[in-house]
């Protein structure tokens, strides 16, 4: 869909890259099977570029967590690999001009680190789009519906693990009252069957419901997880370890509820293999996890061709990542509601001037030039804890 050969975007000359760390408290603790988050230490990539003598900014968000619990990447490591290995590999091309479509190839010699690579690619793409006066949604063709009206996407919400069923039901009812059209419950052994049963009883049979295990179960848990079939769930997300593709394929034969992969999917090639093996009946596409929005588009196109439904997952992003996710999730293969909730789901105040909101259970796809947002510079400065600047071209 987007390549250096057919893109309407021009390469930009990158003069320097600013790696900015910000501290963002969450409005409430968010508990998953791998830990509890109360605040976020976030790495923001800011490129200062030039096109035909005009200065341009570009912004990207690295979604790595503070500790290597969701994946091997973590925020301190992401910053160091950018400084010591990734950005130096862009230096030779920076003065001539860099296209986001070429970033992946320029960084290919460095194994792994998709979240770090994806943040750099997003910042370059944001700069190119701003230079062209074009939004990411316009580039993707997701900025309007068939009648020319602003495109909207259904909004789901991710609900963390709670200590009691009563507390969980109170939280879920609040999100139903807010108009969210789909509920996702984080689960783990001991906080699964009873919790799901209570929520299904609360919301009724018509509200889409799904669960996310974040690798908390093992191959021997098939019979236990099959108890979830009675609740008419959309999917069971990532029940087994990320490397256990064969185990997921076997589990898909043991349960009726579709198996969705998250942590296991890190590339289009790996996604194709998982689909072929029967391990991936539904795909959760997270741009940061797969190395950027361009690889996310390739995975979308693959799944669309294979008839595999996809949806857009979240990594507790600020408005930088949340806006771009909304544009991505309007592509035709995203047939299930994603985790693109309102900014206020996690943050009392966002670092963008136009944070994502939910109206009637839907999010309007942002059409601001760039990836879909404008930075609230005074507030960004107020939450910044450190800045590291790397000069790429004279």
User: What CATH code is carried by the domain that includes residue 282?
Assistant: 3.20.20.120
Kindly indicate the confidence band of residue 8, based on its pLDDT and cuts at 50, 70 and 90.
confident
Residues 28 and 145 in one domain: no
Classify residue 23: in a domain, yes or no. Answer: yes
For residues 176 and 105, membership in a common domain is answered with no
Query: Does residue 177 contact residue 207 with C-beta atoms inside 8 Å?
Result: no
Q: What pLDDT is recorded for position 153?
A: 95
Which two tokens mark 233? Answer: 């769930």
Number of domains in the chain: 2
> Do residues 107 and 149 both lie within one domain?
no
What mean pLDDT is reported for the chain?
A: 95
Assigned domain for 255 exists: yes
Q: Quickly tell me which residue has 């509601």 as its tokens.
A: 337
- Output the DSSP codes for 351-381: SBSS----BTTEEEPP-SSBSS--B-HHHHH
pLDDT tens-digit map of 288-340: 999 999 999 999 999 999 999 999 999 999 999 999 999 999 999 999 999 99
Q: Does one domain contain both 162 and 58?
A: no
| Structural domain contains residue 184 | yes
What's residue 313's pLDDT? Answer: 94
Residue 310: inside a domain: yes
- Write the pLDDT tens digit of every residue in 225-254: 999 999 999 999 999 999 999 999 999 999
Across 144-158, 185-199, 278-292, 380-394, least confident range: 144-158
Bridge partner list, 388: 19
Pairwise pLDDT comparison (34 vs 287), residue with the higher score: 287
Residues 183 and 109 in one domain: no
Q: What is the pLDDT of residue 63?
A: 97
Instruction: For helices 319-328 and 114-132, give the axis angle rounded to 10 degrees.
Output: 80
Are 70 and 200 found together in one domain? no
Comparing CA positions, the residue from 36, 40, 27 lying closest to residue 69 is 36
What average pLDDT does this structure show over 143-164?
86
298 and 269 assigned to the same domain = yes
- pLDDT for 2 equals 58
CA distance 283 to 301: 12
Tell me: do 209 and 258 sit in the same domain.
yes
| Lowest-confidence pick of 3-17, 202-216, 311-325, 347-361 | 3-17
Asked if residue 149 has pLDDT above 80, the reply is: no
pLDDT score, position 241: 96
**Does the structure show a pLDDT above 70 at 137?**
yes
Torsions phi, psi of 210, nearest 5? -145, 165
Residues annotated as part of the active site: 186, 286
Distance CA 206, CA 298 (A): 32
Residue 34: predicted pLDDT: 80
Quick one: 112 and 254 in the same domain? Answer: no
In a domain, 371, yes or no: no
Asked if residue 3 is part of any domain, the answer here is: no
Q: What's the Cα-to-Cα distance from 3 to each of 38, 106, 119, 268, 337, rounded to whole Å?
A: 39, 14, 18, 16, 28
Question: Does the pLDDT value for residue 5 go beyond 60?
Answer: no
Check residue 6 and give its pLDDT: 66
Q: Calculate mean pLDDT across residues 386-390.
A: 97
Q: Are residues 233 and 342 in the same domain?
A: yes
In the chain, at which residue ranges do the beta strands (DSSP E only) sit? 13-32, 35-51, 54-62, 152-154, 156-159, 182-186, 209-212, 236-237, 259-261, 282-285, 310-312, 362-364, 384-391
203, 204, 206, 210: CA torsion to nearest 10:
60
Q: What is the mean pLDDT of residues 131-147?
A: 89
- Give the pLDDT confidence score for residue 96 in this predicted structure: 87
Judgement on whether residues 43 and 157 belong to the same structural domain of the protein = no
Range of the domain at 160: 138-364
State pTM to two decimals.
0.94
For residues 15-25, average pLDDT = 97
Residue 250, in any domain of the structure: yes
Q: Is residue 324 part of a domain?
A: yes
| Tokens linked to 255 | 């349960």
CATH of the domain at 96: 3.30.390.10
Q: What is the pLDDT of residue 95?
A: 80
Residues 304 and 230 in one domain: yes
């Amino acid at each position: 869909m987007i390549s250096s050969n057919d893109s309407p975007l021009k390469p930009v000359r990158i003069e320097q890259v600013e790696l900015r760390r910000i501290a963002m408290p969450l409005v409430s603790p968010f508990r998953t099977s791998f830990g509890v988050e109360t605040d976020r230490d976030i790495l923001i990539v800011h490129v200062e570029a030039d096109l035909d003598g005009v200065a341009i900014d570009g912004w990207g968000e690295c979604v790595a967590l503070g500790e290597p619990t969701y994946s091997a990447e973590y925020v301190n490591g992401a910053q160091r690999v950018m400084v010591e290995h990734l950005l130096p590999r862009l230096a030779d091309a920076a003065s001539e001009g860099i296209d986001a479509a070429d970033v992946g190839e320029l960084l290919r010699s460095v194994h792994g680190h998709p979240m770090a690579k994806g943040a750099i690619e997003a910042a370059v793409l944001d700069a190119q789009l701003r230079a062209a006066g074009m939004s990411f949604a316009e580039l993707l063709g997701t900025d309007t519906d068939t009648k020319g009206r602003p495109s909207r996407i259904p909004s789901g919400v991710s609900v963390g693990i709670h200590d009691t069923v009563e507390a969980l039901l109170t939280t879920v009812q609040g999100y139903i009252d807010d108009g969210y059209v789909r509920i996702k419950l984080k689960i783990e052994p001991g906080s699964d069957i009873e919790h799901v049963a209570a929520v299904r009883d609360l919301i009724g049979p018509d509200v889409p419901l799904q669960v996310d295990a974040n690798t908390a179960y093992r191959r021997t848990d098939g019979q236990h997880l099959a108890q979830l079939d009675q609740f008419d769930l959309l999917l069971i997300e990532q029940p087994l370890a990320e490397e256990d593709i064969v185990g997921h394929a076997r589990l898909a034969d043991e349960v009726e509820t579709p198996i969705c992969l998250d942590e296991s999917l890190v590339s289009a090639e790996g996604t194709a293999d998982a689909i072929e093996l029967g391990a991936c009946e539904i795909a959760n596409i997270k741009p940061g996890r797969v190395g950027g929005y361009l690889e996310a588009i390739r995975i979308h196109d693959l799944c669309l061709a294979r008839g595999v439904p996809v949806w857009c997952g979240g990594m507790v992003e600020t408005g930088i990542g949340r806006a771009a996710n909304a544009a991505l999730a309007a592509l035709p293969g995203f047939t299930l509601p994603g985790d693109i909730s309102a900014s206020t789901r996690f943050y009392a105040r966002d670092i963008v001037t136009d944070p994502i909101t939910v109206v009637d259970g839907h999010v309007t796809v942002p059409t601001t030039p760039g990836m879909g947002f404008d930075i609230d510079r005074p507030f960004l400065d107020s939450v910044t804890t450190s800045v590291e600047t790397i000069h790429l071209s004279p």
